Copies of this chain bind each other. A is one copy, B any other.
């Protein structure tokens, strides 16, 4: 049977989701736990391959297993075997053809900033520390221009063989105390797209770019005028949306 699981992880210290030779990965830790628990080598599929240092509060994976005990035991067993940085939040049986990447309708990411003169060690692990004031209004106006279907070539590169058209459903900034969040939802993202978008919006926020400049960069697919990708530690994959969700 095929199992879908929603997982969360603290990506600090990991080389990203996808297995690789020279760094610990989320995929490896999950597969090692599954192998131990089920006694059978198990490969997992994921909704998105988060980069090194990126966190997840709602990544979705799927795998096939002949597990003969209860789902409760599978859930509890996995959490007992996984390192503290990774947790299986929910878990259930799905149709055999469910693929977490191809079936996904929408991915929701959040990028966190915190504005303070001095670094906070407990917050800086999950957000980007900003020491200068930010002009949030033009950042918000610029972000709104991202909504809709656009060619996002200015803000990232596609996986091999794919184009750079993506549809953004939501892109907005919100403030909670000293923290500022950028929430963006799209059908899919280009490589490093959220981090380059935030890097470019921060240029708007410090007055180096106007919102008109930002729109021009988007429309002209002008990679050279887009900002650099901001640090991975502020990024979190919060949710992946599927059709007819019951799990």
Chain B residues with Cβ below 8 Å from A79 are: 118-119
**Chain B CB within 10 A, most for which of A8, A10, A122, A125:** A122
Q: How far is the CA of A84 from the CA of B233 in the complex (A)?
A: 12
Other-chain contact of A87, B75, B84, B121 (Cβ < 8 Å): B121
Known: A57-B122, A79-B119. 15 other contacts (CB 8 A): A8-B122, A9-B121, A10-B122, A10-B125, A75-B118, A79-B118, A84-B119, A84-B121, A84-B124, A85-B121, A87-B118, A87-B119, A87-B120, A87-B121, A87-B124
Other-chain contact of A121, B8, B118, B121, B122 (Cβ < 8 Å): B8
Residue of B nearest to A83 (CB): B121
Is A182 an interface residue, CB under 8 A from the partner? no
A-side residues, CB < 8 A to B, are 8-10, 55, 57, 75, 79, 84-89, 118-122, 124-126
Q: How far is the CA of A88 from the CA of B88 in the complex (A)?
A: 36
Residue of B nearest to A55 (CB): B122
Chain B residues with Cβ below 8 Å from A8 are: 120-122
Residue of B nearest to A236 (CB): B122
Residue of B nearest to A80 (CB): B119
Chain B residues with Cβ below 8 Å from A55 are: 122
Give how many copies assemble into the complex.
Answer: 2
Chain B residues with Cβ below 8 Å from A84 are: 119, 121, 124-125
Distance in angstroms from A11 CB to nearest chain B CB is 9
Chain B residues with Cβ below 8 Å from A89 are: 118
Q: How far is the CA of A118 from the CA of B90 in the complex (A)?
A: 9
Chain B residues with Cβ below 8 Å from A118 are: 75, 79, 87-89
Chain B residues with Cβ below 8 Å from A122 are: 8, 10, 55, 57, 126
Chain B residues with Cβ below 8 Å from A125 are: 10, 84
Chain B residues with Cβ below 8 Å from A124 are: 84, 87
Distance in angstroms from A120 CB to nearest chain B CB is 7
15 contacts between A and B (CB under 8 A): A8-B122, A9-B121, A10-B121, A10-B122, A10-B125, A57-B122, A79-B118, A79-B119, A84-B125, A85-B121, A87-B119, A87-B124, A88-B118, A89-B118, A122-B126
Residue of B nearest to A233 (CB): B84
Q: How far is the CA of A129 from the CA of B174 in the complex (A)?
A: 30
